């Protein structure tokens, strides 16, 4: 009985931690201008970003084919 309760609690903690990751904003846009350390992005569609807000950009990885 104790193992079942422990496994249930661990499963709940794991699922709740993953739900926080899924709430991250995903916005698509196009870079319009780069001046020094400042990059201007034109956002497509609806996105809840504000002017001056810090963002993290993940570049697409190119696949390398092996021999």
Do the beta carbons of residue 47 and residue 27 sit within 8 Å? yes
* pLDDT tens readout for residues 5-59: 999 888 888 877 665 555 556 778 888 888 888 888 888 878 777 778 887 777 7
Q: Could you read off the pLDDT of 48-66 as tens digits, one per residue?
A: 777 788 877 777 777 777 7
Domain ranges (residues) in the chain: 2-44
Q: What is the pLDDT of residue 36?
A: 87
- Give yes or no for a contact between 45 and 28, defined as CB atoms under 8 angstroms apart: yes
Confirm whether pTM is higher than 0.95. Answer: no
What pLDDT score does 19 carry? Answer: 58
């Amino acid at each position: 009985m104790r193992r079942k309760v422990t496994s249930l609690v661990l499963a709940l903690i794991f699922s709740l931690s993953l739900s926080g990751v899924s709430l991250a904003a995903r916005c698509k846009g196009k870079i319009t201008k780069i001046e020094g350390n400042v990059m201007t992005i034109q956002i497509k569609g609806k996105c809840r970003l504000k002017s001056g807000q810090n963002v993290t950009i993940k570049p697409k990885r190119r696949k390398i084919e092996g021999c």
